[in-house]
Structure 1
């Protein structure tokens, strides 16, 4: 976690974007079940 915080801003943005994409991918099946 400390390494992530110390990473370059671009790297942090990439990590956050990847995190958001993974979260959306993980939640999409649940959204499908709820729909």
Structure 2
């Protein structure tokens, strides 16, 4: 994260805090369940 980001507070790396959050967040980017 720190090695590749220009700003530590603004980067594209994200980690969900739970399985439920991960499921909801994945559906935002992959609505057809392609993951």
TM-score (norm 2): 0.38
Higher helix content, 1 or 2: 1
TM-score (norm 1): 0.38
Larger Cα-atom Rg: 1
